[in-house]
Amino acid sequence: QVQLVESGGGLVPPGGSLRLSCAASGRFVSINAMGWYRQAPGKQRELVAGITSGGSTNYADSVKGRFTISRDNAKNTVYLQMNNLKPEDTAVYYCNQNIKQWSWGLPVDYWGQGTQVTVSS
């Protein structure tokens, strides 16, 4: 059984920084793309940043230049470094990992439990 466990959310003032982590555990063959999504109250979940197995990254326009996604394949972990946070970044952040659990079959998307990020003075 595969599980994703997130950590690192919290309350920070505008201009502050946070680092989110998401580690996968369980039995699986490989991890493909990883990503971070967020959902603010009353809004749809949106992609914040993604990273491929080869290390290519993409970002939502609203976070470019402020957020950095990275991964540590040895630890099955994806990170999101968030700098210069703004009140509009307030949301529940979810990690996503596309995991191939068996040598046969297709990979499946797994989700973390979500972590609250609140940016407020």
Could you read off the pLDDT of 44-92 as tens digits, one per residue? 999 999 999 999 999 999 999 999 999 999 999 999 999 999 999 999 9
Tokens standing for 33? 């793309």
State phi, psi for 63 to the nearest 5 degrees: -115, -5
Name which of 78, 91, 89 is nearest 36 in CA terms. 78
Report the first-to-last Cα separation within the chain, whole angstroms: 40
How confident is the model at residue 30, as a pLDDT? 95
Pairing of strands 10-12, 115-119: parallel
Q: What percent of the chain has pLDDT over 70?
A: 100
